[in-house]
Structure 1
């Protein structure tokens, strides 16, 4: 690890992943891999094989067709481990064609989307798609060096000094294959050539592959995905130790993985989500701006001052976040207000609500030893235990705050107690919790349920956020939104997450973009980050550039360990933050539409270029630009110079600011002033907008204007709290035809002045209804259209 170089200062508290032992010269054993197998039995969706390893040990291999295009491979000892934790759900037996055939020496399992070929002697697994195209294949031939020493680990298990320490598998990696995912990794988006360990850790920055949010799932450009179903640490060697292969090493009591095949990467992400979880649809207000007190002393007077200044400066904002200091220092996180600094919480929250604010409160799943709640929990056995059976007390804050006990989220009585602590601030008027930490579970901790720390470590964040989300939904009535730092596979159900404590530097901002794209490939749609970075005080240029990135992210929060209030960055910083916040609020109908899509499909709002353009090799390593939804291409500036390259894929693209039209594929070099975020619109896009407001409401947007970047024809399926509205528009000759159907019966369409628009002389609605032309100066009624001096055509529709 980067912070374990011998000459660096000692890190006080860090829960490192358990290290695999190094085989000594006296240990004559070696990796034990499958050499042959025979069919032991058939089950409803697959087969059970009895396998024999090179040492003669018997193992069991179960192959299951879970759903069309999803296969499960389970390698375990001859006897299963009943205590092993699974995250994947058992899917219903959908109607699809499935065949299982057994001929001499081979077994074949097939669904319409996936075919598995099993060679029994010598043992070998091959996966192909519906057309017979090879997806992935176990590799036994490239694993040894010239001296016949293994360089990677084939399908099997390893023992050291007679004790099993891991299961593993190795696959061929095609020379042009690229890999994405693994959770929130701050390294290059393309994980080819990297070694990755899925182990949640307080990484304290955006420096390396270590992260708060790990997901043992990845997607390949060859259009398959792999999910390893375990809460234990998994090592992925992605063409790092051997340029022909990648390997999976699991420390669990079995190797349990799923191969997912589909015609496109989006479908793979959705199928993966069907196994672990789809996102919730968060409240509409959560897509607005969140502004924080920052990690500094606070008070009721300061909170009200911030709230009033936000409204006075006319900054659109929905959520005020109160960080740690709403509670008594030294007692974190007992979930009690500091009565000296916040003498009337109910009154404070009521006043904030009268100003249109929701309130988010900071918390973590630990309680400081100075709190009376620690004493109560300790007496009741509500905390994780150490090897001696005593409450495990840890210095999670590195000396800054008194040590804490870790709430045991596997103890039913502790859960009830914890939920009661959570309820009171919500009853008083808070709306959501920022669920900080959750990564610091010691490997040797013991839980009430019997789970050891090593297996609980990654699972903890899921259980912790489940509890907080459940209470939030019960008390507030809206979906169980949290704002979480740590998560694991399936954590997309806890919208939302933010990227943690990154430095206030341009390189950290660039790494944050990469981490968000890696999270996106795991189906985590509602991801965010701290505008300006967390650690340090950003100069105005960095703050503004980060705000542009943040306000064009799935969710947006300004937060840090010093002020991130827009007016503290000078008149220019304030004005530019406000400008982009208003632009975000204009786009809320567009963003909410993609939030609805995410809840149904787990497709992210912030989309890697490769997800939208999987057949364009230029997108495979592209990790500093992205699509926001399907229509907007965002290229944040990550340096002081304002220069960068932007890649425009195949098709035509329109500069949002100048409306210049570019034909892709091409790379352009841009240099932009601080005022400008490079932003491009896909030609023929229809972008629903609304008038910016100070704060949002859950009611359907009543004032929708669709910006039409029309060259020929375009469509958009607008989703709002009142349902689905289908909008289409077509330019043909001098005629503009608009169709509107669904929940909304009135809206406006603004045809922007691009090529040929000046030729429009007739407007039709729903094929036959003709619009009357009106003067631009008059307040024209519904089903009329007018042309402005700059060539913009505004049509008011009512159907």
Structure 2
């Protein structure tokens, strides 16, 4: 972690830091879309001061409405090798016409639509303020000594820098952190959701959910003041967020230039919308992916008979499985990943998969893969001989015994290697595999490696590998099954990987604390532009006590995607509690929550389409995205929104007691139709079939027919439309099971639905909340 200062007054030991001290010259950029600022590291009070004085060049450019980029450079002759983030993948919008104004007293201002940057006019001073163009909102600023570069170790004379091999060079900037400002995002982070006070290093790592490491590092953060900042560098990015200096967010990278974008909303949803234009919108997922996923678990023993028994048991207990996942032991030990089913355990994989689908035991099948190729697998020699694996600088294949004995790593910069890997995947598709869990991809070496592409920077490849690997697999799925039928279950990610849904939260423990960690990770991921997120229901490591399993089931079935998965123990409900068949047992609890998500599918899929379009999370969605003017919402990290209209508060206590917050407005319990009025904190006690699940006022909630099973059915047939404190003009979108918009429902001036022609069959309209007829009794106690 880069630290520049030792307190307020001293430099950090062994670090030499140079700050831009004034804006010496302002010149227009060649394209007319911005300004180039020449910033010496000392004040130039007379001509002689320009000698032996380093400078920083800061290019400030209007990108499109509400976005300004800034690129700070020390030595412009340094190479800028890739990989680079794939920006504006759907095409760049028409650039905002840069408007440059000059004023003796206010300074020089560059405006990009709704966002402006104003350079301080005072002589011999460096300062830039970022604000709304209409002047109503001050966002942040680059103040005194906020931009520059640093060396470590500190050179004793500039002559030493003639040989840079013994020095590391960093670029940095520091935006102001205002009173009451909170910072969120930076990928899937399991520490406190508000990052103020934290030091964060963006470097993909396999560290589990109970650490400051992250599988998914995204150099984008959002402020509660209506703006976000994206750093255009896939390498390691270091942040000191109100930590090294309490009033600043410091960002640093190793290199000679740093480029970043400031994105103005003003709402957080608008910030994410613009960010998704910059880095890519989330891909669309098919309806079947929202159903219940079940895995074999990780190191557990299983074969074809085990798989069948699991699926038959789930169906018999009213929790039908939409997607069954074969984890790593579908291949033999020491051979991962060779794409070959273990013939002893699965003598007829193609026939077996076909029978599972034909008998209605699952709709789709997923298998576990990763980009690591074990030396003892069937494909290692083939890949090695053809140069498909990453090499060391001396020409050897890069191998280590971390994870798989003698494993190599797929070289995703080699077009032939990518095609070979795609061919391997297509052979799996020929067997009936529909989806792929792309595990690992975090431990990508950055030292002593040589990629096939000689211009690939090994340092930048470490994080960016997750993008390139998942892109390869996702596009292979798209070519086989269609653009909107491709589904990944990926662990590693970086900026842009939201285009290849979906991701899950990695290795968590089977504890209530880990459940809370997972929620924080999902909330942070949602603030980083990812629409779809899942977790290991029940926890991955260890064996969950029945009460933890059941509480996690409730939370997990309210995620956008829901998967039961463990490490050394199964996650089918009957093995967790010795097949307790009572209403409060694991099997009945899972059945209730699976049924609830099935009923919610018309709402869930309609919300998913909105999430894709807006680059916002479906679930877990922060309350702050829906209630940005509520200060409390920016500190809530134990509950979440499912789409825009439903609030969920998971339970973390064995007693069933839970404290939760409702923002301003009327909120109606999904389970009882009892209403509460926010803002305020409330306490309730819940049995295992419920949790605080509240529907927002002015909601038209379309629910599927009670008799449906699984996530794919005709959402428009025999539906119930529940009205929750609606007012004239309230609307909702109706989608079919392909996610296509088929109509709209609207409340008329009389408070009634105008028209239900978008639906067919028997349409039940329920006022004052949904019909509770046919529900099992619930036990909710207000405390």
TM-score (norm 1): 0.86
Find the counterpart in structure 1 of residue 573 from structure 2.
Answer: 566
- Residue range with higher mean Cα deviation, 472-481 or 228-237: 472-481
**Secondary structure of 2:250's match?**
strand
Alpha-carbon distance between aligned partners in 1 of 2:467 and 2:712, rounded to the nearest angstrom: 30
1:21-60 CA-to-partner distances (Å, cap 9, x unmatched) read 9999996843343533423442232123333233612333
Find the counterpart in structure 2 of residue 466 from structure 1.
Answer: 471
Post-superposition offset of 1:602:
1.1
1:718-760 CA-to-partner distances (Å, cap 9, x unmatched) read 233342421123585xxx5212377546662432456xx9xxx
- Residue range with higher mean Cα deviation, 708-717 or 736-745: 736-745
Find the counterpart in structure 2 of residue 148 from structure 1.
Answer: none
1:231 aligns with 2:234: yes
For residue 708 of structure 2, the aligned residue among 693, 701, 708 is 693
1:697-728 CA-to-partner distances (Å, cap 9, x unmatched) read 47664332212223545421223334242112
**Secondary structure of 2:315's match?**
helix
Alpha-carbon distance between aligned partners in 1 of 2:472 and 2:667, rounded to the nearest angstrom: 45
Post-superposition offset of 1:641:
2.1
Post-superposition offset of 1:513:
0.6
Find the counterpart in structure 2 of residue 479 from structure 1.
Answer: 485
Structure 2 unmatched runs, 5+? 43-51, 156-160, 162-166, 776-783
Find the counterpart in structure 2 of residue 332 from structure 1.
Answer: 336
Indicate conservation of the 8 Å contact 2:83/2:464, yes or no. Answer: no
Alpha-carbon distance between aligned partners in 1 of 2:248 and 2:168, rounded to the nearest angstrom: 24
Alpha-carbon distance between aligned partners in 2 of 1:576 and 1:302, rounded to the nearest angstrom: 23
Cα distance, 1:168–1:678 mapped onto 2, change above 3 Å: same
Find the counterpart in structure 2 of residue 723 from structure 1.
Answer: 741
Alpha-carbon distance between aligned partners in 2 of 1:21 and 1:476, rounded to the nearest angstrom: 54
Find the counterpart in structure 2 of residue 4 from structure 1.
Answer: none
1:435-476 CA-to-partner distances (Å, cap 9, x unmatched) read 000001012132111323321000000000001101111122
Alpha-carbon distance between aligned partners in 1 of 2:562 and 2:272, rounded to the nearest angstrom: 24
Post-superposition offset of 1:111:
2.9
Query: Aligned runs of 1:325-364 on 2, under 5 Å?
Result: 325-354=329-358, 355=360, 356-364=362-370
1:663 aligns with 2:681: no
1:614-667 CA-to-partner distances (Å, cap 9, x unmatched) read 111111211001111111110000121211211111001112222211111111
- Residue range with higher mean Cα deviation, 293-302 or 98-107: 98-107
Find the counterpart in structure 2 of residue 771 from structure 1.
Answer: none
1:67 aligns with 2:64: yes
Alpha-carbon distance between aligned partners in 2 of 1:110 and 1:180, rounded to the nearest angstrom: 26
Find the counterpart in structure 2 of residue 31 from structure 1.
Answer: 18
Alpha-carbon distance between aligned partners in 2 of 1:609 and 1:88, rounded to the nearest angstrom: 30
**Secondary structure of 2:318's match?**
coil
**Secondary structure of 2:230's match?**
strand
Cα distance, 1:85–1:467 mapped onto 2, change above 3 Å: closer
Find the counterpart in structure 1 of residue 779 from structure 2.
Answer: none
Query: Aligned runs of 1:185-334 on 2, under 5 Å?
Result: 185-204=189-208, 206-295=209-298, 296-334=300-338
Indicate conservation of the 8 Å contact 1:710/1:751, yes or no. Answer: no
Query: Aligned runs of 1:59-138 on 2, under 5 Å?
Result: 59-76=56-73, 77-79=75-77, 81-87=79-85, 89-90=87-88, 92-94=92-94, 96-102=96-102, 106-119=107-120, 121-132=124-135, 133-138=137-142
Cα distance, 1:97–1:353 mapped onto 2, change above 3 Å: same
Indicate conservation of the 8 Å contact 1:139/1:245, yes or no. Answer: no
1:585 aligns with 2:598: yes
Query: Aligned runs of 1:498-513 on 2, under 5 Å?
Result: 498-513=504-519
**Secondary structure of 1:485's match?**
coil
**Secondary structure of 2:489's match?**
strand
Structure 1 unmatched runs, 5+? 1-16, 144-152, 758-785, 791-799
- Residue range with higher mean Cα deviation, 472-481 or 239-248: 472-481
Query: Aligned runs of 1:315-714 on 2, under 5 Å?
Result: 315-354=319-358, 355=360, 356-397=362-403, 401-444=404-447, 445-450=449-454, 451-477=456-482, 478-561=484-567, 562-569=569-576, 570=579, 571=581, 572-606=585-619, 607-691=621-705, 692-697=707-712, 701-710=716-725, 712-713=727-728, 714=730
Indicate conservation of the 8 Å contact 1:84/1:253, yes or no. Answer: no
Alpha-carbon distance between aligned partners in 2 of 1:560 and 1:156, rounded to the nearest angstrom: 46
Alpha-carbon distance between aligned partners in 1 of 2:762 and 2:612, rounded to the nearest angstrom: 25
Indicate conservation of the 8 Å contact 1:396/1:440, yes or no. Answer: no
Structure that is richer in strand per residue: 1
Alpha-carbon distance between aligned partners in 2 of 1:266 and 1:690, rounded to the nearest angstrom: 28
**Secondary structure of 1:279's match?**
coil
**Secondary structure of 1:650's match?**
strand
Cα distance, 1:343–1:29 mapped onto 2, change above 3 Å: same
Indicate conservation of the 8 Å contact 2:110/2:116, yes or no. Answer: yes
**Aligned-pair Cα RMSD in Å:** 2.7
**Secondary structure of 2:402's match?**
coil
Indicate conservation of the 8 Å contact 1:183/1:214, yes or no. Answer: yes
Alpha-carbon distance between aligned partners in 2 of 1:274 and 1:670, rounded to the nearest angstrom: 41
Alpha-carbon distance between aligned partners in 2 of 1:83 and 1:743, rounded to the nearest angstrom: 53
**Secondary structure of 1:686's match?**
strand
Cα distance, 1:731–1:579 mapped onto 2, change above 3 Å: farther
Indicate conservation of the 8 Å contact 2:62/2:97, yes or no. Answer: no
Cα distance, 1:731–1:652 mapped onto 2, change above 3 Å: farther
1:57 aligns with 2:54: yes
Indicate conservation of the 8 Å contact 1:33/1:157, yes or no. Answer: no
1:667-701 CA-to-partner distances (Å, cap 9, x unmatched) read 11112122321111112321111125333447664
Alpha-carbon distance between aligned partners in 1 of 2:408 and 2:11, rounded to the nearest angstrom: 38
Cα distance, 1:482–1:93 mapped onto 2, change above 3 Å: closer
Cα distance, 1:196–1:361 mapped onto 2, change above 3 Å: same
Alpha-carbon distance between aligned partners in 2 of 1:94 and 1:553, rounded to the nearest angstrom: 36
Q: How many residues align?
A: 726
Alpha-carbon distance between aligned partners in 1 of 2:260 and 2:460, rounded to the nearest angstrom: 17
1:77-103 CA-to-partner distances (Å, cap 9, x unmatched) read 333634244315255352755312356
Find the counterpart in structure 1 of residue 780 from structure 2.
Answer: none
Alpha-carbon distance between aligned partners in 1 of 2:325 and 2:415, rounded to the nearest angstrom: 30
Alpha-carbon distance between aligned partners in 2 of 1:565 and 1:787, rounded to the nearest angstrom: 29
Post-superposition offset of 1:20:
9.9
Indicate conservation of the 8 Å contact 1:427/1:475, yes or no. Answer: no
Indicate conservation of the 8 Å contact 2:63/2:96, yes or no. Answer: no
**Secondary structure of 1:574's match?**
helix
Indicate conservation of the 8 Å contact 2:14/2:152, yes or no. Answer: no
Alpha-carbon distance between aligned partners in 2 of 1:657 and 1:343, rounded to the nearest angstrom: 47
Alpha-carbon distance between aligned partners in 2 of 1:27 and 1:430, rounded to the nearest angstrom: 55
Cα distance, 1:624–1:101 mapped onto 2, change above 3 Å: same
- Residue range with higher mean Cα deviation, 336-345 or 158-167: 158-167
1:342-374 CA-to-partner distances (Å, cap 9, x unmatched) read 111110111122124200000110011112311
- Residue range with higher mean Cα deviation, 42-51 or 594-603: 42-51
